[in-house]
Structures are given as C-alpha cells and as structure tokens.
Amino acid sequence: MKKLLAGAAALVAICSHQGALAAQATKPCLSNSEFQSVAVVLLPVLHSQAVTSCKAFLPANAGLLVQSAELTARYAASAERERTAAGDILARLLAKEMPVPMSGSAILPFIEGMVPALLAQEIDAEACEVANNIWTAIAPLPPENIASTLGAILLAASKDKAEDGKAKENRRSLDDFAVCPYVATAQVSGS
C-alpha cells in the first residue's frame, strides 16, 4: 500500500507539518467532512498533475488519460463551491506553522501551487498504474464521493503503516497526517 495512490499521497503531503507534528504526542486528524472539503478543492490540481506525470508511464487509452480535460473541468466546478470551507480548514490546520496568521483565501493558492511538485515526487510507473486503475473506477462519481473514497483509502493505508512498524528513519512528512477514524453512514432517501 506504500504507493497506493499518488494523488492521495499528495493530498496528505499538503496537510502535513514537516517535523512539528512528529513531536506532538497525539497525531492530529481531519474529520471525514474536513478532508472531503480539502480534497474536493485539490482534486482538479491532483487530476491535472497525475495526468501530466503519468503520460510517460501509461498507454494513451488509459482511463486516467482519457477525457482528462473534461474531468478536470468537472472537478473544478465542484472545487469552487468548497473553496471557502477548505481554506478555513487549512488555515486552522497550518496556523501554528505560519510565521504570521494567514487567511484561508491566502493559504489555499499556496497549497494548490505546492501539490504538483509534491505529486511529481511520488510518481513512478507502479504508482501510475495503481492511480489509473483506481481513478478509472471512481471517475464517474461526483467529486465529493471521490474525495470520500480517497479519505477511506488513506485511513486504511494509515492502519497498514501502523501495523508495518515502519522505521522512523524512513518516515516522510505525510506520515504525520491522519484522517480521523469514522464510520460511513447512508442517507435515507427522501429525507
């Protein structure tokens, strides 16, 4: 699961606090809804960079690469609705790491600019194959469902990491981030 989803790794990386969180006794986590807001906003950037990075590793008809512009545009429309909430979440999450207080609207463009570089560091042929297979399966879903799926994958992957007993010297900054444990619930139709 180490390279389960390069896009998910980038989402985690932008929310981690290199070194500072490692020193804290309890690892902070985002609720499922907080993670979903941030993930929906970053989905267009993640998708666009995954397409760019994986072109070298995937065939032209790979699901990740097909209709990429249309998918990115669809994700961007949903991202606009979540920008304020996601910015506020990131501002709160990163408040102790900033030399001066910053608003969510100021932090968000900075984070969006970091994602492509962080994602590019995690991309290789294996990661692209896994990302393609997962993304192809979930691409028809609404962006909010894609974000929730990524959160569930990260939660499962974090449990695998804990069981692996990963050595401290092999830790990456994204290992200090967590999605809070939750139980997904179904909504009753008509309510």
Higher-scoring residue by pLDDT: 190, 13: 190
Indicate the pLDDT class of residue 178, thresholds 50, 70 and 90.
Answer: confident
Q: Where residue 111 falls among pLDDT bands split at 50, 70, 90?
A: confident
**What confidence score (pLDDT) does residue 57 get?**
95
HSE, side-chain direction, 13 A CA sphere, residue 101: 3
- What's the average model confidence in pLDDT over 47-51? 90
Separation between Cα atoms, residue 91 and residue 93, nearest integer Å: 6
Q: Residue 157's pLDDT is what?
A: 78
7 has pLDDT over 90: no
Task: For residue range 14-35, list pLDDT tens digits in order.
Answer: 443 333 333 333 567 888 889 9
Rg (C-alpha) for the chain, rounded Å, is 16
* pLDDT confidence of residue 160: 62
Lowest mean pLDDT among 51-60, 68-77, 103-112, 165-174: 165-174
Mean pLDDT across 135-162: 83
Per-residue pLDDT, 88? 92
Amino acid identity, residue 162?
A
